Amino acid sequence: MNICENTCKRCCTKCNTHLASVAAKLALSGAEINLLQRPKRVFTFTIPLRRDSGEIVFLNGYRVQYNDALGPTKGGIRFHQHVDLDEVNTLSFLMALKCSLAGLPFGGSKGGVEIDPYTLSQAELERLSRGYIREVHNFIGPDVDIPAPDVNTDEQIMAWMVDEYSKIKGRFTPAIITGKPLELGGSAGRVVATALGGCFILQELIKIKNLNPGNLRVAVQGFGNVGANMARILDEWGYKIVALSDQNKGFYNPQGLDVKKILHTQTKKGFLPDEFEGVEVITNQQLLTLDCDILVPAAVCCQINKENAGQIKASIVLEMANDPVLPEADVVLFSRNVDVVPDILANSGGVIVSYFEWLQNSSNDYWTEDKVFRKLAEKITKAFERVWEKSQQENCSLRLASHILAVQRILAAEKLRGNL
């Protein structure tokens, strides 16, 4: 997944806009707003990285622990050339909301390194991963702050990180990191958890609307882990997938795509095949405005804006990417009765199963994939039910309802702790 170069500025603006909406709806006090706007702990540091050539370069690293009122903070680590403190701060705030909304005993955090990982060799990537942990090991822990994969990091990087932390502490500590390989204490089902969680939510929404999956046309933007698994699962459940795209192009067939064959013929993970018979090749922007019932933005941020929001034909937008809909587009879509399932709800399946992994590591009791999926369905559908009920009570969007519930839970915990 790539990050828009302006992500941090747009995300900060978006978060401030939504926080203002929540503050107005709940009549928050100045102290409550001040608390929500401020991260609890911010770490910036320099990581020396020895390149294979022997040259040493110095990289900017970050970790923000935004709020821990509900429990230890939780959030990913991303490696990207456009990572900066503003972006990490904003994403840690969103993680705090996501964990709160899902009913998890976690606060929110996020970390990152300003580097293009595709310029690194495998050995350099390992040295960077271990170097990051050496800088933050005193400030993270299974009961303090639990990292996970994020943009451009994966289970191999998590394996190096948990190994480095365990070496420093002198004992194997699997609960320090989630998103690990199964062999090091990872959870069954973690790879598909984000996509499957979104599918569970979509099922609940179409039940409320009394819709038949077999009659619904779905367009999925993004063919990475989340987008590809969403397409595969929904295809197996009887939905008609009419469009798919990667970062370069999209495939469209109004009669439905052969998702299984596309997945079978792809030669590079995250990308569609170079050619495919019986499809119209389209752009990512064209995909967004196709005639479909369900639009799944599962690629990058800031895809739906005030310019194209009025052209969206889908009646349901399921945000599987982070921040794909800008605030001004939200207003347009809500006025047109489009149900936008917000990212902090729609893509929370990943952090929910990360919580399950943390539980399994802590108890040394590992679950079957069936148990993981059953408990994921239970937890994420309960979160959706709470959001839907709140949106009906307040006559507001699903996003505002999600933010209200998340903020209320955080503030309740802060008050019980005596911080408000």
In the three-class reduction of DSSP (H, G, I as helix; E, B as strand; rest coil), residue 107 is classed as strand
Per-residue tokens: 232? 């595969």
Are the C-beta atoms of 153 and 178 separated by less than 8 Å? no
Q: CA 72 to CA 211: how far, in whole Å?
A: 40
Of 342, 351, 373, the residue nearest 103 (C-alpha) = 351
Count of CB atoms situated within 10 Å of the CB of 371? 13
Burial of 56 (0-12, 13-18, 19+ CB in 10 A): exposed
CA atoms within 13 A on the CB side of 281: 10
Q: CA 184 to CA 343: how far, in whole Å?
A: 29
Q: CA 86 to CA 38: how far, in whole Å?
A: 12
Residue ranges in 6-59 assigned as alpha helix (H): 7-26, 30-37
Q: Left, alpha or beta for 179 (phi > 0: left; psi -120 to 50: alpha)?
A: left
Q: CA 106 to CA 392: how far, in whole Å?
A: 27
Q: CA 296 to CA 409: how far, in whole Å?
A: 28
Q: CA 85 to CA 12: how far, in whole Å?
A: 11
Catalytic site residues?
Answer: 110
Per-residue tokens: 113? 């390194």
Per-residue tokens: 272? 């569609």
Strands 294-297 and 217-221: parallel
Of 99, 173, 79, the residue nearest 354 (C-alpha) = 99
> What φ, ψ does residue 266 adopt, rounded to 5°?
-65, 140
